[in-house]
A = this chain, B = another copy of it.
Amino acid sequence: MNLLTRIERELEGIVATTATQQVPPLLAQALQHAVFPGGARVRPRLCMAVALACEAPDLTAPLAVAASIELLHCASLVHDDLPCFDDAALRRGRASVHKAYGERLAVLAGDGLIVLAFQSLARVAARDAARFAELFEIVATAVNAVSGIVAGQAWECEPQLDLSRYHQGKTGALFAAATMAGARAAGREAAPWRIFGERLGEAFQVADDLRDVLASVVELGKVPGRDAELGRPSAVGEFGLDGALARLDVLIEQTQSVIPPCAGAGLLRKLIRTESARLLPKELVRRAA
C-alpha cells in the first residue's frame, strides 16, 4: 500500500467515527464533504516522508499525527471559505462546505474537525505518553491563536498586517509541524526539522500565490485571482511575477540544504524536486520557459 493510500485509510477510519447513527445526518455529510475527496494531502505526505526518512520503526504514530494535521488543515479550509472570510463557492473543484450545507453546518463542521483531530491524536498517541505530549504540543502550536493558523488568519483582520507572521501562521506553521512531528513520531528530535518545514511552507505559499494569479478555474478548482480581489498580500503582488518565480526557485534550493542528517535525506531531496514540478502548473512552466 503506498503512502497516500495509507493516509486516506487513516483519515477514512477517523472520519468514520462521526458517521454513526447518533450523529446528525447533515453534520456527518458535511464532515465527509470537508475531508473527501482530498486535495494533494501535501502536509500528511510530508509528515510521513520525514518519518520514513528518519527510519520510523512503526508507522502508527506517524500516521496518527499526519492525519490529525490534515484534519486541522481541512478545518481551516472550511472556515476560510465562509462568507465572512473568502466567501468561496468552490473548493477542490466542487461546492465548498458552506455552499453545499449552509453556513451553520460549515461553522460546526470546522469546529468538529478541530476536536476530531485532537481527540483521535490523543487516542492513538496515548499509547506512548511521553512522546505524545510533545507531538500534541507541536500540532496544537501550529494551529493555535498565538503563532498557528488561527493567528495567521487573524492578521487579515488587523489594520496593520505583519506579513511575515501572516504567512508563517497561515502556512509555515503547519508545514513546520508536519516535518517536526514526522521526525518526533519516528523517535527523533523535532527542533532540527523546523526550518525545513518552514522553508517548504513558504515555497508552497509562493507557488500558491502564483497559481492563484495564473491558473484556470478548471485546473485549480477555485476561482483564480481571489487574493488580489480580496486585497490580500501575495508574493506576486510583492515581488511581481518574475520576482515571485525567482523567489520560488531560491526557496526550493534552500529547502534542499536544510534537511537535517538522516538516513533518507537523499530521498527527501528527490521528493522535493518532484513536488516542486507539481507546485508549478503548466501555464507557469510555459511562461518561465
Contact = CB atoms under 8 A, between A and B. Distances in A.
Interface of A: 17-18, 20, 22-28, 31, 75, 79, 82, 84-85, 101-105, 107-116, 118-119, 122-123, 126, 129-130, 132-133, 136-137, 140-141, 143-148, 150-151, 153-158, 162, 165
A111 B79 contact: yes
Contacts of A75: 111
B137 A119 contact: yes
Q: Which secondary structure dominates where chain A touches chain B?
A: helix
A145 B107 CA distance: 12
B104 A146 contact: no
Given A114-B111, A129-B130, A141 B157 contact: no
A95 to B, nearest CB: 16
Nearest to A110: B111
Which 8 A-B pairs rank lowest in CB-CB distance, beginning with the nearest? A129-B129, A112-B145, A126-B133, A27-B154, A119-B140, A84-B103, A24-B154, A112-B150
Contacts of A116: 144-145
Contact of A150 (B115, B154, B165): B115
A79 B104 CA distance: 9
A154 B26 contact: yes
B122 A133 contact: yes
Contacts of A151: 22-24, 27, 112
A174 B80 CA distance: 28
A158 to B, nearest CB: 5
Contacts of A122: 122, 133, 136-137, 140
A27 B157 contact: yes
Given A119-B140, A122-B140, A22 B105 contact: no
Contact of A85 (B23, B27, B104, B110): B104
B79 A107 contact: yes
Contacts of A146: 17-18, 20, 22-23
Contacts of A105: 154, 157
Most B CB within 10 A of own CB, among A82, A112, A113, A155:
A112
A107 B82 contact: yes
A27 B145 contact: yes
A266 to B, nearest CB: 35
A248 to B, nearest CB: 26
Contacts of A110: 111
